[in-house]
Amino acid sequence: MASSGLQLIGFLLALTGLAATVAATFMVEWKKQSQGTMHRIYEGLWEICSCAEKTVCEPHPSLLKLSTEVQATRAVMLISIFLSTVAVLISTLGMKCTHFMDSKPGSKATTAMVGGIMFMIAGLLTTIITSWYVTMIVESFHSSHRLESFEFGMSVFVSWAGGFLSMVGGAFLTCRRCVRSKSSESISANHLFPNSSQTSNYV
């Protein structure tokens, strides 16, 4: 029961990480710029919003006109979401609390590990690309005029949280204690008492 509980905790953490990654990908506040006290500009991976008396959002005009950090971040975040989605399906098949592949406990344990590894890779990709994106903004901030530069916004922190939760959840799914199958326990028990069934036939 303990190992099954750890698996479930890991799966829920990774699922929360996936939700945070999806939310961050489509949030608009990756960059923010304040122009005076009332006017703010937010730039996301998909659209730009201008906030004054009311908020007006427009999609990015063209893929070719996007900055390098936006293009790269958008691509890697989508890859991370795809890997995590596949990991959800694979982990569901391999978890002990489900009834899939019960006749093959060894394969079931391996499947759970594969799903956990995919979650960890997806979380690592999210963390790396988000950190690189922040580095690009910071470098631009220091090299340009303060009033014309952007700062990183709330989406960055949501993305970091999503990547971290995905990696932690994947680590729980891949740990040996979580994926150890019952078949190995029964085999070890048979080795401890190899002749018990044979001797009982001669009583």
**Single pTM value for the model:** 0.77
* pLDDT above 80: residue 151: no
**Among 81, 75, 93, 160, which residue's Cα sits nearest to residue 118?**
81
Query: pLDDT: is 33 or 73 the higher one?
Result: 73
- Listed in order, strand segments (DSSP E) in the chain are 31-35, 39-43, 47-51, 55-59, 151-152
* pLDDT above 70: residue 201: no
pLDDT for res 187: 40
pLDDT classification of 92: cutoffs 50, 70, 90? confident
Render pLDDT for 98-145 as a digit per residue (tens, 0 to 9). 666 666 656 777 888 888 999 999 999 999 999 999 988 887 766 665
pLDDT for res 113: 86
Torsion of CA 63, 64, 67, 69, to 10 degrees: 60
2-27+67-191 fold: Butyryl-CoA Dehydrogenase, subunit A; domain 3 (1.20.140)
Q: What average pLDDT does the structure give for the chain?
A: 78
Mean pLDDT of 81-88: 94
- Listed in order, strand segments (DSSP E) in 73-169 are 151-152
Three-state DSSP at 164 gives helix
CA distance 123 to 45: 18
Torsion of CA 184, 185, 187, 191, to 10 degrees: 130
Would you kindly state where each structural domain of the chain is located, as residue ranges? 2-27+67-191
- Listed in order, strand segments (DSSP E) in 1-137 are 31-35, 39-43, 47-51, 55-59
pLDDT for res 21: 96
